[in-house]
A and B are shown apart, each in its own frame.
Chain A
Amino acid sequence: MTRNRRGREQIDCEEAVRRLAEYLDRELSQASRAEMEVHLQRCRDCFSRAEFERRLKARIRENLHTDQVPQAFHERMKTLVEGLGE
């Protein structure tokens, strides 16, 4: 971690790579996220890495997430939950 001319802390590439997963998972604190974004605006390699990881993550979700369940199972579960509390 270094400081810029205004005395604000700046993170280096090593720290940016370390924080990347939590940044993409939206788990960083606001301050930490802001530091990360400043670094990504200035570092082309880290920006490319972040963009790749973001797209890979989106691709995994697109491919593996489904909103569909078998109709018979849907009906079975509907009957089950509607019978609760009776």
Chain B
Amino acid sequence: MVESEMDRSAEWFQEEVMELLPDLLGAARSMGTTGADSEDAVAEAVALAWERLDDLREKVRFRGWIFRILRNCCLGRIRKARSRPETVSLDKEGNEGSFSLFERLHQPFLLWWSNPEMTFLDALLEDDIRQALESLPEEYRTVVLLADVHEFRYAEIAEALDIPIGTVRSRLARGRSRMQEALWRHAVDRGLRKPRSTSGNNPT
């Protein structure tokens, strides 16, 4: 790169990174790193991204691209910290992605002034939501985090995690389902809801 081009690239890179910093740190934490290790993973990913900037073909894909680098940095750190890496064998699990909080809560024939779904949402605590997300296996947690907290498009998640877009869809469905199940359990544990063995209404 000639000098002025290098300056422009550096300036653009700095702006992008500083804007994404809260998302990068949040993602590193959710990917299983903690404390100073999360910060070190972000710093490592940013330095690597700068070194490899020529590999980025389209600037609009920067977010997915740098999250992919970050994920690899986080996984590397987690592997070092553990004797064995987490196994990735969740995509073929069957009979999942079907828990629905709405079906547990919805009562179609209630009068207009009673809305158990919205009452449930109002009663949810930040801790309930955080614990529900943290209870997910890493493969699901990261996809839910990128989609629902950082508002990534499916294509960006696919790029960030280096998985097919169909896998993004299935992990997202299963992750959200598990998260809703965890929220339901929290609500039952806190006495906000009574356990119910069957789901509510079925779609027509």
Contacts and interface: CB of A to CB of B under 8 A. Distances in A.
Contacts of B108: 45
Interface residues of B, number: 48
Contacts of B25: 69, 73
A25 B101 contact: no
A12 B145 CA distance: 30
B203 A45 contact: yes
Contacts of B86: none
- Measured as residues with beta carbon below 8 angstroms from the partner, the interface class of chain A is 35 or more
Contacts of B133: 60, 64
A36 B89 CA distance: 33
Interface in A1-43: 12-14, 16-17, 21-22, 25, 27
Interface of A: 12-14, 16-17, 21-22, 25, 27, 45-46, 48-49, 52-53, 55-57, 59-61, 63-70, 73-74, 76-78, 80-82, 84-85
Q: Which 4 A-B pairs have the closest CB atoms?
A: A85-B10, A13-B203, A81-B14, A52-B117
Given A63-B126, A78-B18, 12 more contacts: A14-B203, A14-B204, A45-B106, A45-B201, A45-B203, A52-B106, A73-B42, A76-B43, A81-B17, A84-B13, A85-B6, A85-B7
26 contacts: A13-B204, A21-B173, A21-B176, A25-B153, A27-B153, A45-B204, A52-B101, A52-B117, A52-B121, A55-B121, A59-B129, A60-B179, A61-B148, A65-B22, A66-B22, A66-B26, A69-B25, A76-B39, A76-B43, A77-B42, A77-B46, A80-B46, A81-B14, A84-B50, A85-B6, A85-B7
